[in-house]
Homo-oligomer: A and B are copies of this chain.
Amino acid sequence: MGKRKAAVPDISIAKCGYSLLLEIIASKWAVLAIYAMEGGAVRYGEFLRRIEGISKKMLTQTLRQLERDGLLERDVHDTIPPGVEYRLTPLGRSLLIPLRHMKSWAVDHYPLVREARDAYDKRSDQDAGSEREEQHSSRG
């Protein structure tokens, strides 16, 4: 086993587990769509109403991708008017578990992130302003 360059374990992280992950839930819509199905089957129009800001195009595209990846299944009811239900497959459900950890992290640490942002922005403000003046921002 050639072990000459032991300093850097991986010279390229393009093919790591995270890349696989990102290949699956690349878009934010995918995550939100999965979240929408957490409680059970969801209909097309329901997605549209619950996921604020999503367009039909993006919704269809997202659902198709998730279906292709085996994360959800489509139930088509041949009624009039037609009804289509989307539900998570066992594979899709299994993704919910790590996803919930991420969500918990976000909820728990978001205040810290906001603080950091605030501090960073204030600092940048000072840096920019220090060139011509000292400070004049009174908005806390």
A residues near B, CB below 8 A? 8-14, 16-22, 24, 26, 28, 31-32, 35-36, 39, 46, 49-53, 67-71, 91, 94-95, 97-99, 101-107, 109-110, 112-113, 115-117, 119-121
Residues of B within 8 A of A26 (CB): 28
- Min distance, Cβ A118 to any Cβ of chain B, angstroms: 10
Most B CB contacts (10 A, CB to CB) among A12, A32, A68, A119 go to A68
Chain A contact residues: helix, strand, loop or mixed: helix
Residues of B within 8 A of A31 (CB): 18, 21-22
- Min distance, Cβ A113 to any Cβ of chain B, angstroms: 5
Copies of this chain per assembly: 2
Other than the given A8-B50, A68-B117, A98-B104, 13 more pairs (CB < 8 A) read: A11-B50, A13-B35, A18-B35, A19-B28, A19-B32, A21-B31, A21-B106, A22-B28, A70-B112, A70-B113, A70-B120, A91-B116, A98-B101
Query: Within the complex, which residue of B12, B35, B116 is in contact with A16, where a contact is CB–CB below 8 Å?
Result: B35
CA distance A103 to B52 in the complex (A): 28
CB-CB under 8 A for A94 and B98, given A13-B52, A110-B20: no
Residues of B within 8 A of A68 (CB): 116-117, 120-121
CB-CB under 8 A for A14 and B51, given A22-B28, A102-B102, A104-B98: yes
